[in-house]
A and B are shown apart, each in its own frame.
Chain A
Amino acid sequence: GEDVEQSLFLSVREGDSSVINCTYTDSSSTYLYWYKQEPGAGLQLLTYIFSNMDMKQDQRLTVLLNKKDKHLSLRIADTQTGDSAIYFCAESIGSGGYQKVTFGTGTKLQVIP
């Protein structure tokens, strides 16, 4: 079955890099996502990676996927106070048509000025 796990909390200093980790159990995942939730708001898609890719970079964000270990990470370079939020890892499963998305429990990132 689907299960997506993340650590609950991460604290970093402004300017340092943040690495948020996620593990998933379903090897048939097709896409893996990172969503960001700011206080009082809904989730917003940050980036996604197709399951046959190892890495994707988008400005300050780097996503690494280790499909063998079912491990996904999000690296934020030069972390800013505006990056403080909850980050959700998610996976989609299915082929063609609707793909069910399962979210992790979220990692709260605290950036210390």
Chain B
Amino acid sequence: DAGVIQSPRHEVTEMGQEVTLRCKPISGHDYLFWYRQTMMRGLELLIYFNNNVPIDDSGMPEDRFSAKMPNASFSTLKIQPSEPRDSAVYFCASSLEGTGTDTQYFGPGTRLTVL
């Protein structure tokens, strides 16, 4: 398996524009996570899905952020409108199950810069 795939790897956009980040989890994994990493706040869990259903979106910063998982092999994280403070590295991760011994496999991340 190719692992978790994220696109794009880098995104530079202007304030006010819509940004869509994409993720393809590892095939057969039931859980998908979206994280945001910044120097100031470290790694934050934004939302996670189980079997394509959003379970906990309490980490989503505000209504400008939305995430979808239309099928088991694809998820998107959308920011509309984007702001400079959204600049961060966004990681997608997936795991087979949600139990303690289960590893979360991370994608390479999307580095977002909002000017």
Contacts and interface: CB of A to CB of B under 8 A. Distances in A.
Interface string B94-115: 0000111101101111000000
B70 interface: no
B98 A45 contact: no
A101 B59 CA distance: 13
A98 B55 contact: yes
21 contacts: A30-B100, A31-B100, A40-B108, A41-B108, A41-B109, A42-B93, A42-B108, A43-B91, A43-B106, A45-B103, A48-B100, A48-B101, A94-B100, A98-B31, A98-B50, A98-B55, A98-B99, A99-B98, A101-B45, A103-B42, A106-B42
Contacts of B104: 43, 45, 101
A44 interface: yes
Contacts, number: 51
Counting from the closest, the 7 A-B pairs by CB-CB distance are: A42-B106, A98-B98, A31-B100, A105-B42, A103-B43, A43-B106, A45-B103
Interface residues of B, number: 20
B79 interface: no
B42 A104 contact: yes
A99 B100 contact: yes
Contacts of B91: 42-43
Contact of B106 (A44, A48, A97): A44
Interface bin, chain A: 20 to 34
B46 to A, nearest CB: 13
Interface string A31-62: 10000000011111100101000000000000
Interface of A: 30-31, 40-45, 48, 50, 88, 92, 94, 97-106
Contacts of A42: 4, 91, 93, 106-109
Interface string B50-90: 10000110000000000000000000000000000000000
Nearest to B3: A42
Task: Name, among B43, B104, B108, the residue most crowded by chain A CB atoms within 10 Å (CB to CB).
Answer: B43
A106 B93 CA distance: 17
A57 B109 CA distance: 30
